[in-house]
Chains A and B, each alone.
Chain A
Amino acid sequence: MDSLVEEAAAGSNSAWHKIVELLGPSIRGFARARGVSEPDELTQDVFLDAARSIGGFHGDWAGFRSWIFTIAYRRIADHHRRNARRPRLIFDDSAALRMPGGPRPEEEAVQRETIDELLAALHNLNQIERDVVLLRIIADLSSDEVAAVVGKSPGNVRVIQNRALSRMRKNLEKTCNELHHSTIAPVT
């Protein structure tokens, strides 16, 4: 795997092919979960950023994964900051922005709904807690790798993660209990 990074830095198409295959789905998944409206485009931007800077990267495959998710993390932050201060387009340009081969709008809508339902479990977490949880689950990064991505100490990340998961567990249990009680209606 380490040689993959070296080959990519030398401009090898096959090395980048493998990297996109291995990391692209997780980057796009993280972008989706963070509410990016065009996750394919953001993923492409992340790889272009990485390609521009890979000459200055020194490290192994694990370091490369952290590095590329750091780029994604910053890109996503930029995306939300930009969207927060710009008015939304009033026409639907999703078809024009969609990558070839990507899901159709109706498939995207169903998928989005499912993702939103799953993400509801994160509703009472703050942003850094959400990021830590999503990077652990979706990007499959270790606590140390997440710490490198979000710019905090590994110990701090573990505390954030533990608090977040504890709160989420309570939320999920509460939701399940409510569902259970609502489906077993008392006989009157």
Chain B
Amino acid sequence: MNKRTSTHLSSEDVNPMESEQPLGDLLSSWATDLRTTVVTDFEPAVVETMAGLAAETTLVSAGTLATAAGNTAGALTGGQTLSSVIASSMGKIAVSAALATSIATGGAVFGALPDPLQTSAADIAEIVGIELPRPDVRIDVDGAGEVVVELVDGVLHIVGLDARGNWEVSIKSETDTTVIVDFVSDTTTKTVTIVSDTVGEVNSTVETITGSVGSALEGSTAVDGGMETKTGDDAIKVEADGTGSTGQTANTPGADANVDAGVEADLNVEIITGFGD
């Protein structure tokens, strides 16, 4: 039976919530319960095994495997095969036998290994100078959806596009090394740029443009850009739901329109409490 770790919430954790609710807050209780339930100590034997493997892997990665890679890059002599070099270098590492066999038989080259093995294969093959396909790269686009790409022979491929809720997704451009995808909602456009570099790393950036530029107010008509308008006798109040753009202005005959999308968003953040530092 695992022993439960004693847990506590630091003062940093509970501070913002104390200002609104007394100690014993539901959220604090929930957090403590969750941590106590899921964070349990390992048995000593498990710690021993994991630490031993990690220490050995560190040594192998730092020294023995590099030597083996050098040997392989030069020539496989004396009956050596790639698999035997890798297998002997990896020693007790659990994946080594399956990995070596798969590389020798071509399993890893065609991306047929389960992903953890594929990743290990790609890491090791990188050292010995063979390029293997890497597992898919998933890019989460801040709640709008996700893009999944893979890099095969230095060429980026889109494997999956998934738009959530009221978002729509479209491919803006696609070359061997760069993919640009747009996620568009009523009020926001998120442009994801995915680039592969010469060493096979895939990097992504997300640019967000919020609000509908040029939306105009006339009389009591609604404002574009996810905002809500409330009209009175001589004024129009516009409220944004946290994502409205700032700086919009509008002129309505006979009434002044003041658009300040940031006020509601800021207020929202202040009202909401958290563990936060």
Contacts and interface: CB of A to CB of B under 8 A. Distances in A.
A165 B115 contact: no
A15 B142 CA distance: 37
B26 A17 contact: no
A92 B41 CA distance: 26
**A103, A126, A137 — most chain B CB neighbours (10 Å):** A137
A165 B275 contact: yes
Given A11-B58, A21-B47, A165-B275, A172 B27 contact: yes
B30 A162 contact: no
Contacts of B93: 48
A161 B39 contact: no
Interface residues of B, number: 63
B276 A162 contact: yes
Contact of A137 (B1, B35, B148, B269): B35
Interface centre among A51, A100, A166 (most CB of B within 10 A): A51
B51 A17 contact: yes
A102 B115 contact: no
Interface residues of A, number: 72
B47 A138 contact: no
Nearest to A10: B58
Interface string A55-84: 100000000000000000000011001100
A4 to B, nearest CB: 12
B257 to A, nearest CB: 28
Interface of A: 8-13, 15-17, 19-21, 24-26, 28-30, 32-33, 40, 43-45, 47-48, 50-55, 77-78, 81-82, 99-103, 107, 111, 114-115, 118-119, 121, 126-128, 136-138, 140, 142-144, 152, 158-159, 161-166, 168-169, 172-173, 176
Interface of B: 1-2, 5, 10, 12-13, 25-27, 30-31, 33-35, 37-59, 61-62, 93-94, 114-116, 119, 123, 135-136, 138, 140, 142-143, 148, 164, 268-269, 271-277
